[in-house]
Amino acid sequence: MTSLNFLVKPPMWRTFIRFNRYASLLSSPNFPLSENILIEHIGATSKILWIFSSDGQSNAAGSQGFPLTTYVNPYPTQAMMLGSDVRMGLGPTSKNPYPILDSTQIDTLNPIRAKRGATGTRGRQGETPAEQLAIRMAWAAEIANINWASAWFCVGLPGRPYEAVMKGTNAYNNRLSAITRIKELASEVGFDDVFYAGTLWRGGESATRDSIDTYKNKLMEHQINIEADISALTGQRHRPLFWMTQSSTFSSNRVSPYLAMLELHQESSQHVLLGPDYPYPYSIKDGRTLHIDGPGNARIGATHALRIVTLKKSDPVLINSAERSGTTVRIYYAPLLFPPIVVDTTLVPERDFRGFQYICGNIMIDITSISIINDGSDGQEPIIDLTLAEKPSSQEEWLLYAINGHSRTRRLETIPRGNIRDSAGDYQPRSVYDYQPLHNWAVHQKFRVK
């Protein structure tokens, strides 16, 4: 495998057709982008600024996020950031890893765009998912004729665990200072009020020794604290969401933070799993892959904009259940927002058998074929069948998807990944930088088979 990123520019007629589908989707009464939240909580005529934050570790802060791709903003008053860049001009260093925000030094909301980080970061921080996400949300709202504006800031700290951003830390207090300042500035430029929409969490790399329950409790605690403290500042009744992405940089035996995210998505009303990182290009330093590069972060933001802008919970591409009869394993997926389901070995090179592994006891059983029984276009659960090389014994059986991680050094060829995706890229225009289709890919998952 030479690359996880292929540059394919579509013919203009295909781009035009995709845009028409996109416009039709956003205007459809069946798509959950509407003013219902505004009407229910604030009133249809209010001019509201929605606040978002990016939180977590290096990938949240855009470490090695180069080249910069989102350097033009066609929505300067609808997609904004606090300060000189999305990190509010803060640059953590080894001598000052937890900088304190002096929000009184920030006197304006600027059009959001990707910028190189402050001097203190030694130029290591660049594009984050926030820049392209904010612009895509503004674009979607414009097409759907919805009054929309958002402001972003980032409190993520490179190389730091959850304990460095939890309540009581400088990073957490910076969040409260940022929201207070945004509220002050918003009123000066004509907004009636501000509401905190939610947190985009990109972390877990420093928690791979945590158990699933331990990391779940940390993210639950973080969301509860954020909701309580920010609601006290804004007076809002709308409950903010906590969006999560799985970082595809783990070793095979250290996947617990990302399985914890999946369980939280299934158990919590406010935690939303967006998807994994494996479809996106990584930066390569000393032969190692750890951080998503600038175009990759732009694609993450653009891909997830359609789900985040609704401010409602929706499922990623995930397995709901699996059962075996003889040598056939039948897999049932959650209904897709963007069907049909697809097996794709072109956009993401194959590892294992389309990303699947089947374990009976301690024995790995080969998979010989895969077939789509129902692609989900009828609105029902998509169904995929796998055929095993032999019938397993009666021991405990597990289906693994995109779980085969790095064994030592994180390298491009050993990124844990799979080949199951939806067709969101057929409904929306491609990435503005590398023209990649913006599909949603199946999450990292380990599933007990009946």
Query: CA angle, 34 as apex, 266 and 437 as ends, to 5°?
Result: 65
- Read off the amino acid at residue 405: G
Q: Which of 3-7, 23-27, 308-312, 399-403 has the lowest mean pLDDT?
A: 3-7
Mean pLDDT estimate for the chain: 88
> Which tens digits make up the pLDDT trace of 358-374?
999 989 999 999 999 99
Confidence band for 427, pLDDT divided at 50, 70 and 90: confident
User: What tens digit of pLDDT does each residue of 222-271 get?
Assistant: 999 999 999 999 998 889 999 999 999 898 778 999 999 999 999 999 99
Which residues 6+ apart lie within 8 Å of 1 measured at CB? 349, 412, 413
* Cα–Cα distances in angstroms (integers) from residue 29 to residues 25, 252, 378, in the given order: 9, 43, 18
Q: Which is it for the CA torsion 68, 73, 76, 79, positive or negative?
A: negative
DSSP 449: -
- pLDDT score at 378: 94
The reported pLDDT for the residue numbered 100 is 92
E-state strands within 97-154? 109-111, 150-154
Check whether 39 has a pLDDT greater than 50: no
Determine the pLDDT at residue 32.
63
Q: Is residue 95 helix, strand or coil?
A: coil
Tokens of 24: 């039709």
**Mean pLDDT for the stretch of residues 107-111:** 95
- Distance separating alpha carbons of residues 419 and 175, to the nearest angstrom: 37
Which residues on neighbouring strands pair with residue 310, listed in sequence order?
none
In contact, 341 and 420? CB cutoff 8 Å: yes
Of 213, 81, 222, residue with least CA distance to 154: 81
**Does the structure show a pLDDT above 60 at 8?**
no
Q: What is the DSSP string of 319-358?
A: EEEEEEETTEEEEEEPPPSSPPPEE-SSSS---TBTTEEE
Query: Domain coordinates of the chain in residue numbers?
Result: 32-308, 319-448
Over pLDDT 90: what percentage of the chain? 66
* Cα–Cα distance for residue pair 234/237, rounded to 1 Å: 9
Distance in angstroms (rounded) separating the CA atoms of residues 126 and 63: 6
User: Using CA atoms, how far apart are residues 177 and 163, in angstroms rounded to an integer?
Assistant: 19
What is the H or E stretch that residue 305 is in? Answer: helix 294-308
Residue 7 pLDDT grade (very low, low, confident, very high; cuts 50, 70, 90) = very low
Q: What span, in angstroms and rounded, lies between the C-alpha atoms of 103 and 186?
A: 14
Is a pLDDT exceeding 70 seen at residue 34? no
Residue, of 93 and 41, whose pLDDT is higher: 93
Can you tell me whether residue 364 is helix, strand or coil?
A: strand
Instruction: Confirm or reject CATH 3.40.50.1110 for domain 32-308, answering yes or no.
Output: yes
Beta bridge partners of 152: 52, 81
How deeply is 285 buried, as exposed, middle or buried, from its count of CB atoms within 10 A (0-12, 13-18, 19+)?
A: exposed
pLDDT in tens, 322-367: 999 999 999 999 999 899 999 999 999 999 999 999 999 989 999 9
Buried b (16+ CB within 10 A) or exposed e, 107-121: eebbbbbbbbbbebb
Average pLDDT over residues 102-122: 85
- Helices 212-234 and 256-267: crossing angle in degrees, nearest 10, is 50
CA distance 297 to 353: 27
The pLDDT score that the predictor gives to residue 395 is 82
**DSSP assignment of 97-155:** SSPPP-GGG---EEEP---PPPGGGTT-B---HHHHHHHHHHHHHHHTT----EEEEE-
Check residue 94 and give its pLDDT.
Answer: 66
Please give the Cα distance from 375 to 394 (Å, whole number).
30
| Structure confidence at residue 36 (pLDDT) | 52
Using only C-alpha atoms, what is the Rg of the chain? 21
Helices 129-143, 294-308: axis angle to 10 degrees equals: 40
Partners of 150 in beta bridges: 50, 79
Tell me the C-alpha distance between 302 and 289, whole Å. 22
Find, among 31, 87, 34, the residue nearest to 60 by Cα: 87
